[in-house]
Chain A
């Protein structure tokens, strides 16, 4: 299984790669970054499957392909609008709900990134008045050139990896969220990334910059255009928490059962910055996610939470990183995985503490619940602690539901089936509780849906 064959069709696909995405409003400097990334993508070999991050998922799945009905890829002339929406009510319930919540003032921003239509970004007047910026990335390139140049591709650039280079080449409908210094936005910013109904690859990109002492919550939701397409995606998210800022970033992936997705996220924290990441993965045929926080400053605080629920033959591959480069950093990770049917999950979690970092704490826990025999999970903690003054713990469990817990429920008259459901719900509940309240019932529903057919 170490080296996969690269067949000719794949080589053809590589040559068919468009120059760069045609983002009409992109300034030249942005387009030239994209052109550079294109070179990177083409010159990099396919990752070796013996390399640790590629042991669990075949990299050739993520190669660029311009399949039959995908000619428009990267050459689409997207209309970018910040006013009108192209999706009719009823087509995307998530979007309808988000707009209602926006109208009710429960959300600060709703952005619909529809692969087949416009990028539609709406802010509440209050969010605008507070100074929050939410713009298409290419359009923002001119107005916020300094900030964007300083951050775009700095945490996840073309050199990050072959598929990150692919995103850097072909991203379209990028979204730029910027909270200027001292801006506090209590309501969540909800980004909806809808795949393409014509089964082509999409390359969503997000840049979030939280200014000094600012606060914001971003929900980034990825979903399929319908139940039958293979609307694959390769997404990159960069979050920068400047001094004293607090960012909660939630990524919810609920693609349909045919979709392949590749997702890379990095958060970089300056002094006294805090972040909470919640990654909830429910959908897709194959989902590979790489999530990480670089604790660059001193006294940073990073919490990462994961919630994965696999069913049928789904395959999940999650990697997390906590890279501690500043003194007095605190990090905690809690990744909860539930698998049923023949689903599979691999989780690798890296904690790295650089040399001469004083007083840092790093905790990591990964629990995998297997609801039947066919489900499989692997859990691999990776510690690279290069200094002494560290408190670090990690734990991983893989196994079926605790029969002792089940017996406790039975002894109170609660039937087995209900007991199992309650225990699984309980397993994920502490993570669900971290989601913005308005979202919790819906995500609880995704858990219940999967429990219904136990």
Chain B
């Protein structure tokens, strides 16, 4: 409840292609908290996540987003990343010719700022890969180029575990994963999760919430959060679907 929450989303409106798709979302994520953001396809979850990360197609037209009490809206996406924000993409980009290792190396170097601190990189990378059951061969593969849906999601979580951001937005990291992969990836998320960081877990299935326990659950419909509460909301959703929330007036709990 304190205003020093790690991430504060304050009445955020997002426009894409001239259309308002997020219509006033307010949400605080404190240290050690895992918030689940649930909603049907097209409700605006990815638009919100992308806009927070600074995606050029998603404009925040009003409201504010604060990380550690500081507004990030004037910051370029790379500055937001260095400040501690991370987005695991729903549809990660393929970048032919750039290896997973090279990409991650550059991302870490941008934080450490010193080649000398990169000496242990291979070791760190392989350890993180082992934990996520990712074959070392992937280090030399071109980023997401020809990867299966599940492989892409694992690589996103691999990045999370190496970059150790303060706040992670995980956009449908569970989709496209079979049950074994879901377990491995969830364990990866749980290993990352600590009292020092926060997670916004975006999903439209409650499935992943069996493995990654949320402290709070929010339901998003048509660009608005229509209900917030404890984990029981996810179960309720599971049982009766999103329709029951449709008519519920907006009740925002922070």
Contacts and interface: CB of A to CB of B under 8 A. Distances in A.
B240 interface: no
Interface stretch (B103-111, B176-184, B231-239): B103-111
A405 B55 CA distance: 11
A427 B80 CA distance: 27
A426 B78 contact: no
Interface residues of A, number: 24
A416 B78 contact: yes
A423 B93 CA distance: 12
B53 interface: yes
Nearest to A404: B93
Nearest to A408: B93
A183 B96 CA distance: 36
B89 interface: yes
A413 B78 contact: yes
A362 to B, nearest CB: 22
Contacts of A410: 54, 76-78, 81
Interface in B65-112: 76-78, 80-82, 86-87, 89, 92-93, 95-98, 102-104, 106-107, 110-111
B98 to A, nearest CB: 4
B18 interface: no
B76 to A, nearest CB: 7
Given A411-B53, A411-B87, A412-B159, A426 B97 contact: yes
B163 A412 contact: yes
Given A407-B56, A418-B106, A426-B142, A413 B163 contact: yes
A206 to B, nearest CB: 31
A358 B110 CA distance: 54
A428 interface: yes
B51 to A, nearest CB: 12
A405 B95 contact: yes
Interface in A421-454: 422-423, 425-430
Interface centre among A407, A423, A427 (most CB of B within 10 A): A407
B114 to A, nearest CB: 14
Contacts of B142: 426
Contacts of A415: 78, 110
Given A422-B102, A425-B97, A425-B98, A413 B111 contact: yes
Contact of A422 (B76, B80, B98): B98
A4 interface: no
A408 B56 contact: no
B106 A423 contact: no
A426 B98 contact: yes
B110 A430 contact: no
A428 B106 contact: no
A289 B106 CA distance: 37
A403 interface: yes
Given A418-B106, A422-B102, A411 B95 contact: no
Contact of B95 (A416, A418, A426, A428): A426
A407 B96 contact: no
Nearest to A418: B106
B103 A412 contact: yes
Contact of A430 (B96, B102, B107): B96
Contacts of B110: 412-415, 418
Contacts of A416: 76, 78
Interface string B160-193: 0001000000000000000000000000000000
A415 B78 CA distance: 6
A419 B82 CA distance: 15
A412 B81 contact: yes
Nearest to A421: B106
A423 B95 contact: yes
Contacts of B102: 422
B2 to A, nearest CB: 28
B97 A427 contact: yes
Nearest to A430: B97
A428 B97 contact: yes
A336 to B, nearest CB: 9
Nearest to B94: A405
Contacts of B53: 411
A427 B96 contact: yes
Given A403-B56, A408-B89, A422-B102, A414 B97 contact: no
Nearest to A427: B97
A435 to B, nearest CB: 14
Interface string A393-417: 0000000001111011111111110
B146 to A, nearest CB: 12
B216 to A, nearest CB: 25
Interface centre among B54, B78, B159 (most CB of A within 10 A): B78
22 contacts: A407-B55, A408-B95, A409-B78, A409-B103, A410-B54, A411-B78, A411-B81, A412-B103, A412-B104, A412-B163, A413-B78, A414-B78, A414-B110, A416-B76, A418-B106, A418-B110, A422-B95, A426-B95, A426-B96, A426-B142, A429-B97, A430-B97
Interface of B: 53-56, 76-78, 80-82, 86-87, 89, 92-93, 95-98, 102-104, 106-107, 110-111, 142, 159, 163
Interface of A: 402-405, 407-416, 418-419, 422-423, 425-430
